[in-house]
Structure 1
Amino acid sequence: MFKLIASISVCLLGIYSVELSAQNGRFDLGSRANGMGNASVTLADGWSMFNNIGGLARVENTVAMFTYQNKYGVPQFNTFGGGFVKPVLKGVAGVGVFRFGDDLYNEQKINLGFSNQFGLTSLGLNVNYLQYNIEGAGTKGILMLDFGGLATITEQLVFGAQVTNINQAELSSFSGEKVPTVMTAGLSYRPSTGLMLNVEIEKDLDFDAYFKIGLEYEIIKKVKFRTGLVTEPFESAFGIGFTPSAFDVDYAFRNNPNLGDIHELTITYRFDD
Protein backbone atom coordinates (compact mmCIF):
# COMPACT_ATOMS: atom_id res chain seq x y z
CA MET A 1 0.00 0.00 0.00
CA PHE A 2 2.76 2.45 0.90
CA LYS A 3 4.55 1.76 -2.39
CA LEU A 4 1.36 2.56 -4.28
CA ILE A 5 0.84 5.79 -2.33
CA ALA A 6 4.45 6.80 -2.91
CA SER A 7 4.18 6.22 -6.65
CA ILE A 8 0.95 8.22 -6.86
CA SER A 9 2.54 11.03 -4.84
CA VAL A 10 5.47 11.27 -7.22
CA CYS A 11 3.07 11.35 -10.19
CA LEU A 12 1.08 14.17 -8.58
CA LEU A 13 4.26 16.11 -7.96
CA GLY A 14 5.10 15.84 -11.63
CA ILE A 15 1.65 17.05 -12.71
CA TYR A 16 1.50 19.87 -10.20
CA SER A 17 5.04 21.11 -10.59
CA VAL A 18 5.63 22.19 -14.16
CA GLU A 19 8.25 24.56 -12.74
CA LEU A 20 9.90 21.59 -10.99
CA SER A 21 9.19 22.69 -7.47
CA ALA A 22 9.15 19.15 -6.04
CA GLN A 23 12.37 18.08 -4.39
CA ASN A 24 13.95 15.59 -2.04
CA GLY A 25 16.29 18.25 -0.64
CA ARG A 26 18.62 15.85 1.23
CA PHE A 27 22.13 15.12 -0.01
CA ASP A 28 23.82 13.67 3.09
CA LEU A 29 25.44 10.34 2.29
CA GLY A 30 27.61 7.62 3.81
CA SER A 31 26.72 4.80 6.19
CA ARG A 32 29.17 6.03 8.82
CA ALA A 33 27.31 9.34 9.09
CA ASN A 34 23.81 7.90 8.82
CA GLY A 35 24.53 5.17 11.36
CA MET A 36 25.05 8.06 13.80
CA GLY A 37 21.78 9.76 12.89
CA ASN A 38 23.74 11.88 10.40
CA ALA A 39 25.49 13.71 13.24
CA SER A 40 28.32 14.18 10.75
CA VAL A 41 29.32 17.85 10.60
CA THR A 42 32.48 17.14 12.66
CA LEU A 43 33.57 14.04 10.72
CA ALA A 44 36.61 14.16 8.46
CA ASP A 45 36.56 11.48 5.77
CA GLY A 46 35.84 11.10 2.06
CA TRP A 47 32.10 11.56 2.67
CA SER A 48 32.83 15.11 3.84
CA MET A 49 32.20 15.85 0.15
CA PHE A 50 28.52 15.57 1.06
CA ASN A 51 28.33 16.15 4.83
CA ASN A 52 30.80 18.99 5.55
CA ILE A 53 33.29 20.03 2.89
CA GLY A 54 35.45 21.61 5.59
CA GLY A 55 36.42 18.16 6.87
CA LEU A 56 37.85 17.08 3.52
CA ALA A 57 41.22 18.75 4.22
CA ARG A 58 41.95 16.16 6.92
CA VAL A 59 41.79 13.21 4.50
CA GLU A 60 45.35 11.89 4.09
CA ASN A 61 44.98 9.35 1.27
CA THR A 62 43.34 9.13 -2.14
CA VAL A 63 39.86 7.66 -1.62
CA ALA A 64 37.21 6.12 -3.91
CA MET A 65 33.73 5.52 -2.46
CA PHE A 66 30.23 4.30 -3.31
CA THR A 67 26.96 4.10 -1.38
CA TYR A 68 23.42 2.83 -1.92
CA GLN A 69 20.34 3.79 0.13
CA ASN A 70 17.08 1.86 0.11
CA LYS A 71 14.48 4.31 1.44
CA TYR A 72 11.30 2.88 2.99
CA GLY A 73 11.36 -0.11 0.63
CA VAL A 74 10.16 2.10 -2.24
CA PRO A 75 12.25 1.75 -5.44
CA GLN A 76 11.27 5.28 -6.54
CA PHE A 77 13.07 6.68 -3.48
CA ASN A 78 16.35 4.77 -3.89
CA THR A 79 19.53 6.84 -3.74
CA PHE A 80 23.00 6.24 -5.16
CA GLY A 81 26.15 8.24 -4.51
CA GLY A 82 29.89 8.09 -4.90
CA GLY A 83 33.02 10.10 -5.24
CA PHE A 84 36.77 10.37 -5.60
CA VAL A 85 39.01 12.37 -3.26
CA LYS A 86 42.70 13.18 -3.61
CA PRO A 87 45.23 15.40 -1.75
CA VAL A 88 46.44 18.09 -4.19
CA LEU A 89 47.93 21.60 -4.07
CA LYS A 90 48.53 21.51 -0.29
CA GLY A 91 44.86 20.73 0.21
CA VAL A 92 42.35 18.03 -0.73
CA ALA A 93 40.07 18.06 -3.78
CA GLY A 94 37.17 15.82 -4.63
CA VAL A 95 34.32 15.08 -6.99
CA GLY A 96 31.00 13.59 -5.91
CA VAL A 97 27.87 12.34 -7.66
CA PHE A 98 24.34 11.82 -6.31
CA ARG A 99 21.12 10.42 -7.76
CA PHE A 100 17.67 10.14 -6.17
CA GLY A 101 14.46 8.85 -7.79
CA ASP A 102 13.50 6.99 -10.94
CA ASP A 103 12.67 7.78 -14.57
CA LEU A 104 9.42 9.53 -13.57
CA TYR A 105 11.06 11.95 -11.14
CA ASN A 106 14.73 12.22 -10.26
CA GLU A 107 17.36 14.52 -8.83
CA GLN A 108 20.97 14.33 -9.96
CA LYS A 109 23.91 16.27 -8.56
CA ILE A 110 27.60 16.54 -9.26
CA ASN A 111 29.80 18.51 -6.90
CA LEU A 112 33.41 19.66 -7.03
CA GLY A 113 35.00 20.50 -3.71
CA PHE A 114 38.28 21.73 -2.26
CA SER A 115 39.36 22.06 1.36
CA ASN A 116 42.53 23.36 3.01
CA GLN A 117 44.06 23.21 6.47
CA PHE A 118 45.07 26.39 8.30
CA GLY A 119 46.71 25.37 11.56
CA LEU A 120 43.99 23.85 13.74
CA THR A 121 41.23 24.94 11.34
CA SER A 122 40.18 23.59 7.95
CA LEU A 123 37.85 25.33 5.50
CA GLY A 124 36.25 24.12 2.28
CA LEU A 125 33.96 25.07 -0.60
CA ASN A 126 31.68 22.86 -2.70
CA VAL A 127 30.40 23.90 -6.13
CA ASN A 128 27.30 21.87 -7.06
CA TYR A 129 25.38 21.42 -10.27
CA LEU A 130 21.92 20.13 -9.36
CA GLN A 131 19.45 18.87 -11.97
CA TYR A 132 15.76 18.06 -11.47
CA ASN A 133 13.83 16.04 -14.02
CA ILE A 134 10.09 15.29 -14.16
CA GLU A 135 8.80 13.18 -17.01
CA GLY A 136 6.52 15.27 -19.16
CA ALA A 137 7.42 18.52 -17.39
CA GLY A 138 11.05 18.95 -18.35
CA THR A 139 14.44 19.42 -16.74
CA LYS A 140 15.93 22.23 -14.73
CA GLY A 141 19.54 22.66 -13.64
CA ILE A 142 20.96 25.09 -11.10
CA LEU A 143 24.27 25.92 -9.42
CA MET A 144 24.62 26.10 -5.65
CA LEU A 145 27.50 26.56 -3.20
CA ASP A 146 28.28 24.94 0.15
CA PHE A 147 30.78 26.29 2.66
CA GLY A 148 32.03 24.55 5.79
CA GLY A 149 34.81 24.21 8.31
CA LEU A 150 36.28 22.28 11.22
CA ALA A 151 38.22 23.60 14.21
CA THR A 152 40.18 21.56 16.74
CA ILE A 153 39.47 23.21 20.10
CA THR A 154 41.36 20.67 22.24
CA GLU A 155 42.68 17.16 21.68
CA GLN A 156 39.28 15.87 22.75
CA LEU A 157 36.92 18.50 21.32
CA VAL A 158 36.22 19.38 17.67
CA PHE A 159 33.78 22.00 16.34
CA GLY A 160 32.22 21.82 12.88
CA ALA A 161 29.83 23.97 10.86
CA GLN A 162 28.46 24.06 7.32
CA VAL A 163 25.97 26.02 5.24
CA THR A 164 24.54 24.26 2.20
CA ASN A 165 23.21 26.31 -0.73
CA ILE A 166 24.74 29.46 0.72
CA ASN A 167 23.84 31.34 -2.49
CA GLN A 168 20.13 30.43 -2.05
CA ALA A 169 19.77 29.13 -5.59
CA GLU A 170 16.28 29.61 -6.99
CA LEU A 171 14.44 26.55 -8.25
CA SER A 172 11.35 28.22 -9.70
CA SER A 173 11.18 31.79 -11.01
CA PHE A 174 7.39 31.50 -11.15
CA SER A 175 6.81 30.55 -7.50
CA GLY A 176 10.06 31.90 -6.06
CA GLU A 177 10.81 28.51 -4.49
CA LYS A 178 14.44 27.90 -3.64
CA VAL A 179 16.57 24.86 -2.95
CA PRO A 180 16.70 24.47 0.86
CA THR A 181 19.45 26.43 2.61
CA VAL A 182 20.53 24.44 5.66
CA MET A 183 22.85 25.53 8.47
CA THR A 184 24.46 22.92 10.70
CA ALA A 185 26.79 23.27 13.69
CA GLY A 186 28.05 20.68 16.14
CA LEU A 187 30.59 19.51 18.69
CA SER A 188 32.43 16.20 18.80
CA TYR A 189 33.78 14.87 22.11
CA ARG A 190 36.52 12.24 21.75
CA PRO A 191 37.67 11.19 25.22
CA SER A 192 39.74 8.26 23.96
CA THR A 193 40.81 6.51 20.80
CA GLY A 194 37.86 4.61 19.36
CA LEU A 195 35.14 6.60 21.13
CA MET A 196 33.27 9.59 19.70
CA LEU A 197 30.13 11.45 20.81
CA ASN A 198 28.65 14.04 18.42
CA VAL A 199 25.94 16.60 19.15
CA GLU A 200 24.52 18.89 16.43
CA ILE A 201 21.84 21.44 15.70
CA GLU A 202 20.47 21.82 12.16
CA LYS A 203 18.28 24.61 10.78
CA ASP A 204 16.57 24.85 7.42
CA LEU A 205 15.74 28.52 6.81
CA ASP A 206 12.09 27.58 6.25
CA PHE A 207 11.66 25.22 9.21
CA ASP A 208 12.35 24.90 12.92
CA ALA A 209 15.75 23.77 14.16
CA TYR A 210 16.23 20.21 15.35
CA PHE A 211 18.94 18.23 17.14
CA LYS A 212 21.01 15.18 16.28
CA ILE A 213 23.19 13.05 18.53
CA GLY A 214 25.49 10.24 17.44
CA LEU A 215 27.90 7.77 19.00
CA GLU A 216 30.72 5.74 17.47
CA TYR A 217 32.57 3.09 19.48
CA GLU A 218 35.25 0.65 18.40
CA ILE A 219 34.04 -2.65 19.88
CA ILE A 220 37.12 -4.59 18.82
CA LYS A 221 39.96 -3.70 16.50
CA LYS A 222 38.66 -2.82 13.02
CA VAL A 223 34.99 -3.12 14.04
CA LYS A 224 32.93 -0.05 15.03
CA PHE A 225 29.39 0.22 16.37
CA ARG A 226 27.30 3.36 15.80
CA THR A 227 23.98 4.70 16.97
CA GLY A 228 22.14 8.03 16.88
CA LEU A 229 18.91 9.97 17.28
CA VAL A 230 17.21 12.79 15.36
CA THR A 231 14.54 14.89 17.08
CA GLU A 232 12.43 16.19 14.15
CA PRO A 233 11.09 14.08 12.68
CA PHE A 234 12.10 11.57 15.33
CA GLU A 235 14.39 8.90 13.94
CA SER A 236 16.63 6.28 15.51
CA ALA A 237 19.75 5.02 13.80
CA PHE A 238 22.21 2.16 14.12
CA GLY A 239 25.26 1.13 12.17
CA ILE A 240 28.34 -1.00 12.01
CA GLY A 241 31.66 -0.55 10.24
CA PHE A 242 34.37 -3.03 9.31
CA THR A 243 37.87 -2.13 8.11
CA PRO A 244 39.63 -5.34 7.00
CA SER A 245 42.49 -3.57 5.18
CA ALA A 246 42.34 -0.66 2.75
CA PHE A 247 38.57 -1.20 2.48
CA ASP A 248 35.87 0.24 4.73
CA VAL A 249 32.54 -1.58 4.60
CA ASP A 250 29.78 0.24 6.50
CA TYR A 251 26.09 -0.43 7.02
CA ALA A 252 23.47 1.92 8.49
CA PHE A 253 19.84 1.50 9.51
CA ARG A 254 17.50 4.43 10.23
CA ASN A 255 13.90 4.16 11.34
CA ASN A 256 11.21 6.80 10.88
CA PRO A 257 8.04 5.65 12.75
CA ASN A 258 5.80 7.36 10.19
CA LEU A 259 7.54 6.39 6.95
CA GLY A 260 9.55 3.25 7.60
CA ASP A 261 13.15 2.10 7.40
CA ILE A 262 16.20 3.30 5.51
CA HIS A 263 19.04 0.86 4.80
CA GLU A 264 22.39 2.03 3.48
CA LEU A 265 25.50 0.12 2.41
CA THR A 266 28.77 1.96 1.77
CA ILE A 267 32.12 0.79 0.41
CA THR A 268 35.21 3.00 0.64
CA TYR A 269 38.68 2.21 -0.71
CA ARG A 270 41.81 4.03 0.42
CA PHE A 271 44.74 4.03 -2.01
CA ASP A 272 48.29 3.72 -0.70
CA ASP A 273 49.65 7.09 -1.87
Structure 2
Amino acid sequence: MHKRGLDAQHENTYFLLIYHNNSSLMKHLISIIVTCTLLLCSRTAAGSLVPVSSDARIRSMGGVTASLIGYAPAMYTNPATLAGSESMTASLAYSDPLGKSAMTTVQGILAVPRMPFDDQATAALAYDRFGDDLYRETTVLLGYATRVTQWLAAGVSFGWMQREFSAADDDSAPGISAGLVASVSERLSIGAGMTAINTPEIGDNGETVPHVLTTGATVRLDDDMLLGGDIRKQQGRKASWCFGGEAGVLPWLMLRAGVSGNPWTYSGGTGLQLGDVHLDAAMIRYPDLEKTGFAVSVQMVIR
Protein backbone atom coordinates (compact mmCIF):
# COMPACT_ATOMS: atom_id res chain seq x y z
CA MET A 1 0.00 0.00 0.00
CA HIS A 2 1.55 3.27 -1.09
CA LYS A 3 1.11 5.93 1.59
CA ARG A 4 1.60 9.33 0.07
CA GLY A 5 1.95 12.88 1.37
CA LEU A 6 0.88 12.78 4.98
CA ASP A 7 3.96 10.98 6.24
CA ALA A 8 3.18 7.92 4.14
CA GLN A 9 -0.54 7.80 4.89
CA HIS A 10 -3.55 7.58 2.54
CA GLU A 11 -4.85 10.78 0.99
CA ASN A 12 -8.28 9.65 2.18
CA THR A 13 -6.94 9.46 5.73
CA TYR A 14 -5.37 12.90 5.22
CA PHE A 15 -8.75 14.60 4.84
CA LEU A 16 -10.63 12.44 7.33
CA LEU A 17 -8.14 13.14 10.10
CA ILE A 18 -9.07 16.82 10.01
CA TYR A 19 -11.94 15.86 12.27
CA HIS A 20 -9.88 13.72 14.61
CA ASN A 21 -9.85 14.30 18.37
CA ASN A 22 -8.63 12.38 21.39
CA SER A 23 -11.75 10.36 22.12
CA SER A 24 -11.68 6.60 21.59
CA LEU A 25 -15.10 6.73 19.90
CA MET A 26 -13.92 9.24 17.31
CA LYS A 27 -10.79 7.19 16.60
CA HIS A 28 -12.89 4.12 15.87
CA LEU A 29 -15.38 6.12 13.79
CA ILE A 30 -12.59 7.51 11.63
CA SER A 31 -11.13 4.04 11.13
CA ILE A 32 -14.52 2.65 10.06
CA ILE A 33 -15.00 5.47 7.55
CA VAL A 34 -11.52 4.88 6.14
CA THR A 35 -12.25 1.17 5.80
CA CYS A 36 -15.53 1.75 3.98
CA THR A 37 -13.92 4.31 1.68
CA LEU A 38 -11.15 1.92 0.74
CA LEU A 39 -13.65 -0.82 0.00
CA LEU A 40 -15.89 1.29 -2.21
CA CYS A 41 -13.54 3.62 -4.05
CA SER A 42 -11.20 2.81 -6.92
CA ARG A 43 -7.90 1.26 -6.01
CA THR A 44 -6.08 4.46 -6.87
CA ALA A 45 -6.89 5.39 -3.29
CA ALA A 46 -4.81 2.48 -2.13
CA GLY A 47 -1.71 3.36 -4.12
CA SER A 48 1.06 0.82 -4.36
CA LEU A 49 2.01 -2.35 -2.56
CA VAL A 50 5.32 -0.75 -1.62
CA PRO A 51 5.03 1.89 1.12
CA VAL A 52 6.88 5.18 1.04
CA SER A 53 9.58 5.22 3.70
CA SER A 54 8.68 6.52 7.16
CA ASP A 55 12.38 6.92 8.02
CA ALA A 56 12.89 10.19 9.91
CA ARG A 57 15.92 11.24 7.86
CA ILE A 58 13.90 10.89 4.66
CA ARG A 59 10.79 12.55 6.12
CA SER A 60 12.76 15.53 7.43
CA MET A 61 14.16 16.13 3.91
CA GLY A 62 10.66 16.29 2.45
CA GLY A 63 10.57 12.66 1.32
CA VAL A 64 13.61 12.56 -1.00
CA THR A 65 14.45 8.91 -1.78
CA ALA A 66 14.94 8.16 -5.49
CA SER A 67 18.72 8.57 -5.63
CA LEU A 68 19.85 7.99 -2.02
CA ILE A 69 22.18 5.17 -3.03
CA GLY A 70 23.56 3.15 -0.13
CA TYR A 71 20.68 4.10 2.20
CA ALA A 72 18.46 1.06 2.82
CA PRO A 73 15.26 2.88 3.99
CA ALA A 74 14.97 4.41 0.50
CA MET A 75 14.29 0.94 -0.96
CA TYR A 76 10.52 1.34 -0.51
CA THR A 77 10.52 3.78 -3.43
CA ASN A 78 13.57 2.60 -5.39
CA PRO A 79 15.13 -0.79 -4.57
CA ALA A 80 18.30 0.16 -6.48
CA THR A 81 19.26 2.43 -3.56
CA LEU A 82 20.25 -0.71 -1.64
CA ALA A 83 23.39 -0.95 -3.78
CA GLY A 84 26.42 0.71 -2.28
CA SER A 85 25.69 -0.32 1.29
CA GLU A 86 29.01 -0.87 3.03
CA SER A 87 27.91 -2.63 6.23
CA MET A 88 25.03 -4.74 7.49
CA THR A 89 22.40 -2.46 9.00
CA ALA A 90 19.18 -2.84 10.95
CA SER A 91 16.72 0.05 11.07
CA LEU A 92 13.38 0.76 12.72
CA ALA A 93 11.04 3.69 12.04
CA TYR A 94 7.79 4.94 13.53
CA SER A 95 5.61 7.75 12.18
CA ASP A 96 2.34 9.44 13.11
CA PRO A 97 0.78 11.75 10.50
CA LEU A 98 -0.85 14.37 12.72
CA GLY A 99 0.62 13.61 16.11
CA LYS A 100 -2.71 12.31 17.46
CA SER A 101 -3.99 9.99 14.76
CA ALA A 102 -5.20 6.43 15.16
CA MET A 103 -3.37 5.37 11.98
CA THR A 104 0.39 5.02 12.45
CA THR A 105 3.20 3.31 10.54
CA VAL A 106 5.95 1.01 11.81
CA GLN A 107 8.74 -0.10 9.48
CA GLY A 108 11.80 -2.29 9.91
CA ILE A 109 14.64 -3.19 7.52
CA LEU A 110 17.59 -5.57 7.66
CA ALA A 111 20.13 -4.96 4.87
CA VAL A 112 23.03 -7.34 4.19
CA PRO A 113 25.74 -6.26 1.71
CA ARG A 114 28.40 -8.26 -0.15
CA MET A 115 26.62 -11.44 -1.09
CA PRO A 116 28.86 -14.55 -1.38
CA PHE A 117 28.09 -14.74 -5.10
CA ASP A 118 28.29 -10.97 -5.71
CA ASP A 119 30.37 -8.67 -3.52
CA GLN A 120 28.73 -5.64 -5.18
CA ALA A 121 25.22 -6.72 -4.17
CA THR A 122 23.01 -5.97 -1.17
CA ALA A 123 19.94 -7.95 -0.10
CA ALA A 124 17.30 -6.67 2.30
CA LEU A 125 14.22 -7.83 4.16
CA ALA A 126 11.70 -5.11 5.00
CA TYR A 127 8.47 -4.99 7.00
CA ASP A 128 5.76 -2.33 7.02
CA ARG A 129 2.61 -2.07 9.12
CA PHE A 130 0.05 0.70 8.77
CA GLY A 131 -3.28 1.18 10.52
CA ASP A 132 -5.03 0.14 13.71
CA ASP A 133 -7.24 -2.69 14.99
CA LEU A 134 -10.12 -1.89 12.61
CA TYR A 135 -8.06 -1.53 9.43
CA ARG A 136 -4.48 -2.62 8.91
CA GLU A 137 -2.02 -3.16 6.08
CA THR A 138 1.00 -5.40 6.47
CA THR A 139 3.66 -5.59 3.76
CA VAL A 140 6.77 -7.78 3.61
CA LEU A 141 9.44 -6.99 1.02
CA LEU A 142 12.50 -8.84 -0.21
CA GLY A 143 14.89 -6.56 -2.10
CA TYR A 144 18.10 -7.07 -4.04
CA ALA A 145 20.39 -4.56 -5.75
CA THR A 146 23.81 -4.66 -7.38
CA ARG A 147 26.14 -2.49 -9.42
CA VAL A 148 25.72 -3.34 -13.09
CA THR A 149 28.68 -1.11 -13.93
CA GLN A 150 30.92 1.15 -11.88
CA TRP A 151 28.44 4.00 -12.29
CA LEU A 152 25.07 2.21 -12.63
CA ALA A 153 23.14 0.26 -9.99
CA ALA A 154 19.96 -1.75 -10.54
CA GLY A 155 17.55 -3.23 -8.02
CA VAL A 156 14.33 -5.18 -7.70
CA SER A 157 12.00 -6.05 -4.84
CA PHE A 158 9.19 -8.53 -4.40
CA GLY A 159 6.44 -7.81 -1.91
CA TRP A 160 3.37 -9.37 -0.36
CA MET A 161 0.71 -7.16 1.16
CA GLN A 162 -2.25 -8.16 3.28
CA ARG A 163 -5.17 -5.89 4.12
CA GLU A 164 -7.08 -6.73 7.27
CA PHE A 165 -10.59 -5.42 7.89
CA SER A 166 -12.53 -5.78 11.12
CA ALA A 167 -15.86 -5.85 9.24
CA ALA A 168 -14.92 -7.62 6.00
CA ASP A 169 -12.78 -10.42 4.62
CA ASP A 170 -9.04 -9.89 4.42
CA ASP A 171 -7.31 -9.82 1.04
CA SER A 172 -3.75 -9.84 -0.28
CA ALA A 173 -1.69 -9.44 -3.44
CA PRO A 174 1.92 -9.65 -4.68
CA GLY A 175 3.88 -6.69 -5.97
CA ILE A 176 7.05 -6.18 -7.99
CA SER A 177 9.17 -3.02 -7.95
CA ALA A 178 12.38 -2.08 -9.77
CA GLY A 179 14.73 0.84 -10.16
CA LEU A 180 18.03 2.31 -11.30
CA VAL A 181 20.54 4.74 -9.78
CA ALA A 182 23.28 6.33 -11.88
CA SER A 183 26.33 7.89 -10.22
CA VAL A 184 26.97 10.65 -12.75
CA SER A 185 29.96 11.85 -10.74
CA GLU A 186 31.34 11.57 -7.23
CA ARG A 187 28.93 14.33 -6.20
CA LEU A 188 25.83 13.77 -8.35
CA SER A 189 23.43 10.81 -8.48
CA ILE A 190 20.15 10.41 -10.35
CA GLY A 191 17.62 7.66 -9.81
CA ALA A 192 14.26 6.29 -10.90
CA GLY A 193 12.09 3.62 -9.35
CA MET A 194 8.68 2.16 -10.12
CA THR A 195 6.53 0.34 -7.58
CA ALA A 196 3.77 -2.18 -8.37
CA ILE A 197 5.01 -2.67 -11.92
CA ASN A 198 2.70 -5.66 -12.27
CA THR A 199 -0.40 -3.60 -11.24
CA PRO A 200 -1.94 -6.65 -9.53
CA GLU A 201 -5.59 -7.14 -8.72
CA ILE A 202 -6.55 -7.17 -5.06
CA GLY A 203 -9.86 -8.08 -3.46
CA ASP A 204 -12.96 -9.55 -5.08
CA ASN A 205 -14.13 -6.46 -6.98
CA GLY A 206 -11.48 -6.30 -9.70
CA GLU A 207 -9.56 -3.54 -7.94
CA THR A 208 -6.05 -2.94 -9.27
CA VAL A 209 -3.02 -1.44 -7.59
CA PRO A 210 -1.62 1.42 -9.72
CA HIS A 211 2.08 1.77 -10.26
CA VAL A 212 4.03 4.76 -8.96
CA LEU A 213 7.06 6.26 -10.74
CA THR A 214 9.57 8.26 -8.70
CA THR A 215 12.50 10.09 -10.29
CA GLY A 216 15.02 12.33 -8.60
CA ALA A 217 18.56 13.53 -8.09
CA THR A 218 20.90 14.28 -5.20
CA VAL A 219 24.04 16.38 -5.16
CA ARG A 220 26.63 16.21 -2.40
CA LEU A 221 28.00 19.71 -1.99
CA ASP A 222 30.41 18.61 0.72
CA ASP A 223 31.13 15.47 2.71
CA ASP A 224 28.50 16.56 5.24
CA MET A 225 26.10 18.47 2.99
CA LEU A 226 23.47 16.98 0.67
CA LEU A 227 20.65 18.41 -1.46
CA GLY A 228 18.05 16.39 -3.33
CA GLY A 229 14.68 16.45 -5.03
CA ASP A 230 12.10 13.97 -6.34
CA ILE A 231 9.06 13.98 -8.60
CA ARG A 232 6.52 11.23 -7.93
CA LYS A 233 3.73 10.28 -10.36
CA GLN A 234 1.08 7.76 -9.42
CA GLN A 235 -1.11 6.27 -12.11
CA GLY A 236 -4.37 8.22 -12.25
CA ARG A 237 -3.20 11.07 -10.00
CA LYS A 238 -1.43 14.39 -10.31
CA ALA A 239 2.31 14.46 -9.78
CA SER A 240 3.80 15.40 -6.43
CA TRP A 241 7.26 16.71 -5.68
CA CYS A 242 9.66 17.15 -2.79
CA PHE A 243 12.95 18.93 -2.14
CA GLY A 244 15.24 18.87 0.86
CA GLY A 245 18.72 18.59 2.25
CA GLU A 246 20.94 18.02 5.23
CA ALA A 247 24.10 19.56 6.66
CA GLY A 248 26.50 18.47 9.38
CA VAL A 249 26.98 21.23 11.94
CA LEU A 250 29.05 19.05 14.27
CA PRO A 251 30.82 15.73 13.65
CA TRP A 252 27.92 13.97 15.38
CA LEU A 253 24.98 16.30 14.57
CA MET A 254 23.00 16.71 11.33
CA LEU A 255 20.34 19.33 10.63
CA ARG A 256 17.75 18.72 7.90
CA ALA A 257 14.87 20.53 6.19
CA GLY A 258 12.50 19.90 3.31
CA VAL A 259 9.34 20.90 1.50
CA SER A 260 6.84 18.99 -0.64
CA GLY A 261 3.86 19.76 -2.84
CA ASN A 262 0.54 17.94 -3.38
CA PRO A 263 -0.06 18.15 -0.49
CA TRP A 264 2.02 21.02 0.87
CA THR A 265 4.29 20.12 3.77
CA TYR A 266 7.24 21.72 5.49
CA SER A 267 9.59 19.51 7.43
CA GLY A 268 12.70 19.63 9.55
CA GLY A 269 14.69 17.37 11.78
CA THR A 270 17.94 16.34 13.37
CA GLY A 271 20.21 13.33 13.32
CA LEU A 272 22.65 12.11 15.95
CA GLN A 273 25.51 9.91 14.78
CA LEU A 274 26.72 8.02 17.84
CA GLY A 275 29.28 5.62 16.42
CA ASP A 276 27.45 2.67 14.88
CA VAL A 277 24.05 3.98 16.02
CA HIS A 278 22.20 6.75 14.19
CA LEU A 279 19.17 8.39 15.81
CA ASP A 280 16.88 10.60 13.72
CA ALA A 281 13.77 12.67 14.37
CA ALA A 282 11.53 14.68 12.07
CA MET A 283 8.61 17.08 12.38
CA ILE A 284 6.26 17.53 9.42
CA ARG A 285 4.00 20.58 9.24
CA TYR A 286 0.76 20.64 7.21
CA PRO A 287 -0.08 24.34 6.79
CA ASP A 288 -3.52 23.76 5.28
CA LEU A 289 -4.55 21.82 8.39
CA GLU A 290 -2.40 23.68 10.89
CA LYS A 291 -1.30 20.27 12.16
CA THR A 292 2.11 18.74 12.82
CA GLY A 293 3.16 15.11 12.50
CA PHE A 294 6.36 13.40 13.49
CA ALA A 295 8.65 10.49 12.70
CA VAL A 296 11.47 8.87 14.66
CA SER A 297 13.93 6.22 13.54
CA VAL A 298 17.07 4.40 14.58
CA GLN A 299 19.65 2.69 12.39
CA MET A 300 22.40 0.44 13.72
CA VAL A 301 25.47 -0.89 11.93
CA ILE A 302 26.02 -4.59 12.63
CA ARG A 303 29.68 -5.59 12.47
TM-score (norm 1): 0.92
CA distance in 1, matches of 2:184, 2:198: 29
Equivalent in 143, 148, 170 of residue 139 of structure 1: 170
Aligned twin of 1:59: 85
Unaligned runs of at least 5 residues, structure 1: none
CA–CA separation in structure 1 for the residues paired with 2:74 and 2:247 = 20
Q: Secondary structure at the match of 2:102?
A: helix
2:59 to 20, 34, 38: 34
Matched, 1:98 2:128: yes
Question: 1:125 is matched with which residue: 156, 172, 193?
Answer: 156
Matches within 5 A, 1:80-91: 80-87=106-113, 88=115, 89-90=117-118, 91=121
Residues 16/160 of structure 1: CA separation in 2 closer, same or farther (3 Å cut): closer
Q: Which string of whole-angstrom CA distances, capped at 9 and with x for unpartnered residues, describes residues 206-242 of structure 1?
A: 1111221111111111211111110111111111111
CA distance, structure 1, for counterparts of residue 245 and residue 88 of structure 2: 26
Distance 1:247 1:168 in 2: 37
Aligned residue runs from structure 1 range 1-273, under 5 A? 1-3=19-21, 7-15=28-36, 23=46, 26-44=51-69, 45-87=71-113, 88=115, 89-90=117-118, 91-118=121-148, 119-174=150-205, 176-259=206-289, 260-272=291-303
Cα deviation, residue 75, structure 1: 4.3
Give unmatched runs, 5+ long, in structure 2: 1-18
Contact residue 146 and residue 166 of structure 1 kept, 8 A: yes
Q: Which stretch of structure 1 is more off in the superposition, 47-56 or 10-19?
A: 10-19
Q: Is the 8 A contact 2:27 2:101 kept in 1?
A: no
What's the CA shift for 1:173? 4.5
CA displacement at 1:171 relative to structure 2 = 2.4
1:219-271 residue CA offsets vs partner (Å, 9 max, x unmatched): 11121111111011111111111111100101111112244222111011001
The TM-score with structure 2 as length reference comes to 0.84
Q: Distance in 2 between matches of 1:271 and 1:77?
A: 31
Query: In angstroms, what is the RMSD of aligned CA positions?
Result: 2.0
Cα contact 2:47–2:209 (8 A) shared by 1: no
Number of equivalences: 271
2:14 aligns with: none
TM-superposed CA distance for 1:19, in Å, is 7.3
Indicate the SS of the match to 1:43. coil
Q: Which amino acid aligns with 2:65?
A: S
Alpha-carbon separation, structure 1, partners of 2:203 and 2:171: 9
Deviation at residue 16 of structure 1 after TM alignment = 5.6
8 A Cα contact 1:219 1:225, kept in partner: yes
Distance 1:261 1:206 in 2: 28
